[in-house]
Structure 1
Amino acid sequence: MTEKITIAIDGFSSTGKSTIAKLIAKKYNYVYVDTGAMYRAVSLYAKNNDFVNQNSIDKEGLIASLENITITFKFNEALGFAEVFLNDKNVEKEIRTLEVSQLVSKVAAISEVRKKLVAEQQEMGKNGGVVMDGRDIGTVVFPDADLKLFMTASADKRATRRYKELIDRGDKVLYEDILFNVQERDRIDSTREDSPLMKADDAIEFDNSDMGINEQFERICTLIDNKLA
């Protein structure tokens, strides 16, 4: 086994994939890539340029504009993680809103968008020493990843976590809207034609409905240490 491995974390929305991935990256000094943030950034671009709203999407218009989209990650030492930049503008907060959450699955279902971002993700992780989370990391982006995890939890538990996160941030949202968004994203992500959300055959499933972050982290670190041994 190489000194640094490739770790793929897939799963449903709001299962804490990014939180776990950040902790792993920090502990093992790996590069962390939040692929969901990349799709959110494209969705923000599409929203701001009137290519998508809750009722419709101009696929051809967005596809024609993909060459105008540049997504980068810049590490923020004060925060301890890399923030997302869309065309050199920090959009870390903008991409986390419920409005963008309601659009991202529609945008992510477009094959041309996925092709562009998958190529960028594969380039970021080609040398190993990377932990990447998303929907299709273990099945499409890195099918040969050394360790694959698949995170799941009940829709109610995930909606409650997301609701608390947004309320703590000061957003005015209704729990019912969050639950609907979680369920709708599950439906779209799992049934889309291109790279649907699914557990890789060799992925280890983690149902964290009743599991705290510390317990998850400890269990996953044991798996990583075994791979590195």
Structure 2
Amino acid sequence: MARPLVIAIDGPAAAGKGTLAKQLAAHYSLPYLDTGLLYRAVGRKAAAQGLDLDDPQAMEPLARDLDTGDIDEGALRGREAGELASRVAAHEGVRRALTAFQRDFADRPTGALLDGRDIGTVICPNADVKIFVVASAEVRARRRTDELNAKGRAVVYETILEEVRQRDDRDSNRAVAPLKPAEDAHLLDTSELSIEGVFREACRLIDAHIQT
């Protein structure tokens, strides 16, 4: 019997890791967890209660009490929820509280695929395959602008670009589990690739591991 396959997909906002992760999970029949939704859920609960998202003492209990009922993907999408997630994710207590949830998900007999920002470095350092998805800030800002405008949201590219850069800085320079590729991660630059092209390249990397 083949041992479970664990795949870690990491990368900054709007690099395309979520789209890729869903495709790969379906292709390899793996349970999938978008770990960013956990942080978005904590941020949404904090905002709804009028709490200070920059107060680690107030954020940690929300993370400890998070349950699956709080993870409503439809309500947790969007730029605002992403900004809330980035702020609460900077707190060590929040990350500690959510780490066990993620590791339990990964440690299942069926294998699993998780995407986020510290899967390959912190959550699943022994993952079979680690892919770090990147794209330039300009490309990611253009994707996000086009996506939001298509949904009827009137947003300005320059504003989105500044937000992307600020979030990159916050995620990459936080003291706890900063956004960075694991030493053994495969870098996958999606800037000039189509969605199908990204998927094919990721499958090539994973299949090469399976065949060894």
TM (normalized to structure 1)? Answer: 0.85
**Number of the residue aligned with 2:51:** 51
| Higher strand proportion (structure 1 or 2) | 1
**Number of the residue aligned with 1:61:** 58
Q: What's the CA shift for 1:3?
A: 4.3
The 5 Å alignment of 1:89-168 reads: 91-127=72-108, 129-168=111-150
| Higher helix proportion (structure 1 or 2) | 2
Gaps of 5+ in 2: none
Q: What's the CA shift for 1:183?
A: 0.6
- Is 1:3–1:228's contact at 8 Å kept on the other side of the alignment? no
State the Cα RMSD in Å: 1.8
1:202 aligned to which of 174, 184, 188: 184
Cα distance in 2 for partners of 1:172, 1:3 equals: 48
- Corresponding position: 1:225 with 2:207: yes
- Is 1:40–1:101's contact at 8 Å kept on the other side of the alignment? yes
Gaps of 5+ in 1: 73-84
One-letter amino acid matched to 1:96: R
Residues 215 and 39 of structure 1, relative CA distance in 2, 3 Å threshold: same
The 4+ residue runs of structure 1 with deviation greater than 6 A are: none
Cα distance in 2 for partners of 1:134, 1:173 equals: 25
Cα distance in 2 for partners of 1:66, 1:145 equals: 24
- Is 1:2–1:228's contact at 8 Å kept on the other side of the alignment? no
TM (normalized to structure 2)? Answer: 0.92
1:177 aligned to which of 146, 159, 162: 159
What SS is found at the alignment partner of 1:4? coil
Aligned residues: 210
| Identical-pair percentage | 40
- Is 1:63–1:113's contact at 8 Å kept on the other side of the alignment? yes
Q: What's the CA shift for 1:36?
A: 1.0
